[in-house]
């Protein structure tokens, strides 16, 4: 382990916070959402701990193929998606095509021809969490009315992979931390005031009201991070950020300090492959590097492993043993094994470390409810860490120490520095899903990025992934569909409705074609969902309206904006499978692809629209004044006459009782 200098926690706190026997323990922020990931950290708390190494010591393995664990899990998962997929595509049927029979035949005779679905949820803070939650609610057959007319319920259950990054990573992490609970359950709880996703108090103030309780919230966080340092592990601002996130996202006392990301693999519903495979994404930062470029190493965390498919590392280590003393791919006989470093909040915080500076700079200004005596203490602690240039997520010991030294930029560093997965502009976590070894057919890419002046997406994340695929030294032969420039996205309204990229497999001649991308951009269907990435608190009404808007985006207003949408979702699911099996594309799907596929046409001119993009409502009559006030800008000229598929749909806001 790496032991570093550490602030004198007790002394610092004693001078800054009133520590006494009257300091109340925070009231547990829990609800009746049942079961969770496992609190299996060997310390029983936030700090990792040294454990006895298993007889077969953990090793670093090559990324040439998937791990045996993931491979075995996939065999179970692919079969588990069959019934859900059949129900989805038979509800949203394709004329002249027996979708159910096609899937049953694939499941019985050739599992490789079965469509392989993934969902990717972008970064963007709470905006991304809530908008992404709306999409997942629409895709979840447990959501009220999601399997009715115009619904896509069951898409989540039919999916193999679910990836998140930054705010999208909070969504994925929270769902899996809480036993794959539905969005409805996390939003509503089972009785009044039991909602897990209660964002009324900012993350800076914590989930409690009284002075002593808020003081206790931060004292608990400081004490837990201090325990990690006292155990000999490097700490960073990400530890504080991750602990604070956990209080808002994990249904357990003190935000579940002993819950680990690898424990997801030990929960029955995951072991039985009843859920998609969760992946969170972060970027590597090489020693001495400050600017994160497209050729930075992209890392992933999944319940089994952490590592990268990029040629710089091209290796994975067991997530459960991340902070063990790996050297050149092995743990030597005199090296230690460690468990508990992959604490759930810390992994979510790693994927969203962009917020570290937000925490550092805004703790005093973001919420005047925070007691000044607490602000003083936390600012001193955070400043001392920042002065040591330690404001990122530090993984020490470096699990890839001395591994692949010819290409690994951190091979000689005792620590591995990771940062927010969107800092290289790839703000949608597509990298793990486009790897040929995972054989994904279609990705529903939910984009809540704030690319424009008023916090709407313009395809920047897709373009970054496409541009990266052209860099031969880092792409490693991974292909990506071409995408247009930002002005084309706006001028052609590609950021106001779903758009398919990579429709024609004949355009990919060098290797296996990449997945078909179904781009789902955040847009104002029924609410001004373009709230700032750094807004730290939301009323229940605001939260609900943004989630509802995400639901409307996912369903195109329950098919009221475009009546062909749900059928076209079925067409997209089958597209790559049809190409593999040389199956003729039904005419209804030919029409869908003509309607939703980008045809390569560019419209790159700069206009008043591209320079000051302010869309109006796409469906319904709009959101409350409360949500409007929190949005980055009021509605502009609207969409009428702009060539967009647009109708004003009365009553669309009541499309779901739950949302």
**612: which DSSP letter?**
S
Given a contact cutoff of 8 angstroms between Cβ atoms, the answer to whether 330 and 57 are in contact is: yes
Secondary structure of 402-455 as H, E, C letters: CCCCCCCCCCCCCCEEEEECCCCCCCCCCHHHCCHHHCCCEEEEEECCCCCCCC
Q: Point out the least confidently predicted range of 5-19, 445-459, 571-585.
A: 5-19
Backbone angles phi, psi at 563, to 5 degrees: -65, -15
Residue 611 binned pLDDT confidence (cut-offs 50, 70, 90): confident
Given a contact cutoff of 8 angstroms between Cβ atoms, the answer to whether 451 and 521 are in contact is: no
- Give residues with Cβ within 8 angstroms of 52, minimum separation 6: 337
Q: How many CB atoms lie within 10 A of CB 621?
A: 12
C-alpha distances out from residue 644 to 573, 621, 641, Å: 24, 17, 8
Region 292-299: mean pLDDT is: 91
Average pLDDT over the chain reads 85
Given a contact cutoff of 8 angstroms between Cβ atoms, the answer to whether 546 and 130 are in contact is: yes
Predicted pLDDT of residue 650: 30
**Cα gap 313→405, rounded to integer Å:** 9
pLDDT in tens, 257-266: 999 999 999 9
Given a contact cutoff of 8 angstroms between Cβ atoms, the answer to whether 656 and 548 are in contact is: yes
268: three-class secondary structure by DSSP: helix
C-alpha distances out from residue 368 to 5, 99, 201, 214, 474, Å: 32, 57, 11, 12, 46
Given a contact cutoff of 8 angstroms between Cβ atoms, the answer to whether 175 and 186 are in contact is: yes
Q: Tokens 């029955």 correspond to what residue?
A: 268
Q: Point out the least confidently predicted range of 68-82, 86-100, 434-448, 632-646.
A: 632-646
C-alpha distances out from residue 63 to 176, 573, 658, Å: 25, 27, 42
- Give residues with Cβ within 8 angstroms of 557, minimum separation 6: 150, 525, 526, 618, 619, 620, 649, 652, 655
Residues counted in the chain: 659
Backbone angles phi, psi at 227, to 5 degrees: -60, -35
393: three-class secondary structure by DSSP: strand
**Cα gap 491→307, rounded to integer Å:** 39
Q: Tokens 């859900």 correspond to what residue?
A: 84
Is a pLDDT exceeding 50 seen at residue 651?
A: no
**Cα gap 428→462, rounded to integer Å:** 7
C-alpha distances out from residue 345 to 86, 177, 216, 258, Å: 36, 9, 19, 10
Predicted pLDDT of residue 649: 33
Strand 117-121 relative to strand 337-339: parallel, antiparallel, unpaired? unpaired
Is a pLDDT exceeding 80 seen at residue 283?
A: yes
Burial class (CB in 10 A: 0-12, 13-18, 19+), 372: exposed
Residue 52 binned pLDDT confidence (cut-offs 50, 70, 90): very high
Helical segments of 82-152, H only: 82-91, 99-109, 125-139
Q: Tokens 């890419």 correspond to what residue?
A: 445
Residue 361 binned pLDDT confidence (cut-offs 50, 70, 90): low
* Calculated CA dihedral for residues 515, 474, 459, 439, nearest 10 degrees: 10
């Amino acid at each position: 382990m790496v032991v570093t200098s550490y602030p004198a926690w007790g002394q610092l706190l004693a001078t800054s916070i009133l520590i006494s026997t009257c300091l109340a323990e925070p009231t547990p922020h829990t609800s009746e959402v049942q079961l969770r990931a496992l609190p299996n950290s060997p310390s029983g708390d936030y700090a990792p701990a040294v454990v006895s190494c298993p007889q077969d010591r953990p090793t670093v393995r090559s990324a040439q193929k998937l791990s045996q664990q993931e491979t075995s899990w996939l065999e179970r998962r692919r079969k588990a998606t069959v019934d859900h997929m059949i129900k989805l595509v038979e509800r949203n049927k394709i004329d002249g095509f027996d979708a159910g029979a096609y899937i049953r035949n694939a499941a019985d005779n050739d599992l490789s021809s079965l469509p392989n679905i993934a969902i990717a949820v972008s970064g963007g803070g709470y905006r991304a969490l809530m908008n992404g939650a709306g999409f997942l609610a629409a895709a979840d057959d447990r959501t009220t009315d999601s399997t009715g007319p115009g619904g896509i319920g069951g898409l989540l259950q039919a999916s193999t992979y679910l990836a998140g990054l930054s705010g999208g990573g909070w969504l994925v992490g929270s769902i899996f931390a809480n036993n794959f609970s539905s969005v409805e359950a996390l939003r509503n709880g089972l009785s009044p005031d039991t909602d897990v996703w209660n964002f009324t108090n900012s993350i800076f103030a914590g989930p409690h009201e009284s002075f002593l309780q808020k003081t206790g919230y931060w004292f608990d966080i400081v004490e837990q991070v201090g325990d990690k340092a006292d155990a000999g592990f490097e700490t960073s601002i990400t530890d504080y950020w991750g602990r604070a996130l956990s209080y808002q996202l994990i249904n357990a006392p003190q935000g579940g300090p002993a819950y680990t990301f690898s424990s997801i693999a030990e929960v029955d519903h995951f072991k039985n492959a009843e859920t998609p495979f969760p992946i969170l994404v972060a970027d590597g930062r090489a020693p001495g590097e400050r600017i994160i470029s497209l050729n930075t190493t992209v890392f992933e965390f999944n319940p089994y492993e952490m590592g990268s498919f990029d040629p710089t590392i091209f290796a994975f280590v067991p997530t459960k043993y991340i902070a063990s003393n790996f050297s050149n791919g092995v743990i030597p006989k005199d090296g230690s094994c460690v468990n508990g470093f992959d604490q759930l909040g810390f992994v979510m915080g790693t994927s969203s470390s962009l917020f570290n500076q937000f925490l550092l700079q805004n703790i005093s200004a973001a919420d005047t409810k925070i007691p000044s005596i607490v602000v003083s203490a936390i600012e001193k602690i955070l400043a001392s860490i920042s002065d040591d240039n330690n404001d990122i997520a530090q993984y020490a010991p470096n699990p890839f120490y001395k591994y692949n030294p010819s290409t690994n930029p951190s091979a000689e560093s005792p620590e591995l520095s990771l940062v927010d997965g969107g800092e290289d502009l790839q703000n949608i976590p597509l990298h793990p899903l486009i790897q040929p070894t995972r054989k994904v057919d279609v990705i529903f890419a939910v984009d809540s990025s704030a690319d424009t002046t008023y916090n709407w997406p313009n395809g920047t994340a897709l373009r970054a992934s496409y541009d990266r695929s052209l860099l031969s030294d880092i792409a490693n032969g991974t292909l990506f569909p071409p995408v247009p420039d930002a002005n084309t996205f706006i001028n052609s309204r590609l950021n106001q409705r779903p758009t398919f990229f990579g429709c024609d497999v004949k355009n990919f001649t060098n290797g296996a074609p990449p997945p078909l991308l179904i781009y789902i951009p955040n847009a104002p269907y029924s609410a001004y969902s373009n709230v700032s990435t750094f807004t730290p608190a939301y009323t229940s009404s605001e939260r609900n309206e943004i989630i509802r808007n995400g639901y409307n985006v996912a369903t195109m207003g329950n098919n009221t904006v475009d009546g062909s949408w749900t059928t076209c979702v079925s067409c997209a699911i089958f597209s790559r499978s049809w190409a593999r099996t040389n199956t003729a594309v039904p005419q209804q799907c030919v029409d869908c692809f003509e309607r939703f596929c980008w045809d390569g046409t560019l419209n790159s001119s700069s206009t008043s629209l591209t320079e000051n993009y302010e869309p109006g409502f796409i469906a319904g009559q709009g959101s409350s004044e409360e949500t409007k006030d929190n949005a980055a800008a009021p509605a502009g000229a609207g969409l009428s006459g702009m060539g967009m598929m647009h109708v004003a749909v009365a009553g669309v806001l009541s499309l779901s009782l739950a949302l």
